[in-house]
Amino acid sequence: MALKSRTVLMGSFGLLVAGALAFVAFRTDPVPVDLHRVERGALQVTVNADGKTRIREVFEVAAPISGTVLRSPVRVGDPVVAGETIVAVVEPASSNLLDARTRIQAEAAVREAEAALHQARSLMREAGEDLTLAEKEYERAKLLVERGVSSVTRLENAEQQLGIKRAAEAASISGLEMAKGALDRARAALIEPVNFPDGPGNTCCKQLFAPVTGQVLEIDMISERPVTAGTRLLSVGQPDDLEIVADLLSVDAVRLETGDMAIVERWGGDTPLEARISKIEPSAYTKVSALGIEEQRVDVVFDLVTPSERRRELGDGFSVFLRIIEWENDDVLLVPVSAIFRKGKDWAVFVSENGVAQTRVIRIGQRNASFAQVLEGLVEGDQVLTHPSDEIDDGVAISERP
């Protein structure tokens, strides 16, 4: 009897050992994961873009006449006062006197223009006579139709001819004015040029004054050289009156509107600046990206809201980085974007419940690169798995990484 009891005990102990070994052999270790606690906070959705500063109003000074621009009296960065500071001096070009051949050609052009004017006057008189005759024919045809002697067709023909003659007279008047202009132009070629005095102290030179109070931004002509009328000499502006322009993808620009705020970063200062959209250009243009892809871009202009005293180092043509605020809310339920994934047509997350991963379908609203707004499916305090691996599924044991 004692032997039988011992046998039973030994058998039971063997079964326990075998069970323990089987449990150790086949048990699954918890998968280490990263957990994030769902909390409420601020969410900001932005459109990011590179931009460049530019002076809002740039005034260009150009040569009003052809001639020689003298060496520039100012340098880039010099302060100027509107109407007082001389920024450029232009000496008129000295024209040569008419030589014999040029004079003969000019005189022949005058005679030709006079003949054309005489012809234009004759054509105008002829058109006037034709118009008078057409008016009489029209009145006669109208009277005959009223008496029933003539057909309506004759009246219509007379009316048509009257319109043609009126148009011909108008054309002849225009031709006469053109002939007068041609004659004036031909006579002007015979006018002798005026010789300006040479030497210091002469008053022949044209002095150009600063159009606005500010600084010299750029000088195109520093040394003396010949120029033609309309050639740009320099530009003047107020360096603290800056705006920012950025080219955005058209699909991003349609989500923005005038008045939206932007955060200006990477401009070189310690603190970000604030800007506001002042204008979204109505037309887009094609731009080839660094990857060789054609993109439709839209220029968006921003006014700097930050006072100029806090951005004195910022100048014209400086590069900046913009985060344009498309949407923001200071109190939303947030879930990391790294935690959400697609499950069919829905969004879902893995939630930690008593050390086990469970799938939960959620509905999200706005999102940015880091967080998404939770509308349904989660509550504050839930623990969600971020960057879940392929090992994670419903019912899998998990443990938080230290």
CA-based radius of gyration for the chain: 44
Residue showing tokens 């969410």: 43
How much is the pLDDT for 9?
60
Query: Which DSSP letter does residue 397 get?
Result: B
Return the closest-CA partner of residue 401 out of 352, 344, 347.
352
Determine the residue type at 187. Answer: R
pTM of the model: 0.59
Cα separation of 224 and 231, whole Å?
14
Give the CATH class of 61-95+195-236.
Answer: mainly beta
pLDDT at 240: 87
Q: What is the per-residue pLDDT for 361?
A: 95
pLDDT at 17: 56
pLDDT of the residue at 194: 53
Match 């005990």 to its residue by tokens.
9
- Give residue 24's pLDDT: 40
Locate the DSSP E strands across 250-309: 261-265, 273-280, 285-288, 294-304
Residue 78 identity (one-letter amino acid): D
Token pair recorded at residue 367: 């999102």
Low-confidence ranges of the chain (pLDDT < 70): 1-28, 94-99, 192-204
Q: Which CATH class is domain 47-55+239-328?
A: mainly beta
pLDDT of residue 25: 44
> What ranges make up the beta strands (E) of 164-241?
206-209, 214-219, 225-227, 232-237
**What fold, for 31-42+330-400?**
2.40.420
For residue 199, the model assigns a pLDDT of 43
Identity of the amino acid at 225: R
Q: How far is CA 342 from the centre of its chain?
A: 37
pLDDT recorded at residue 145 = 81
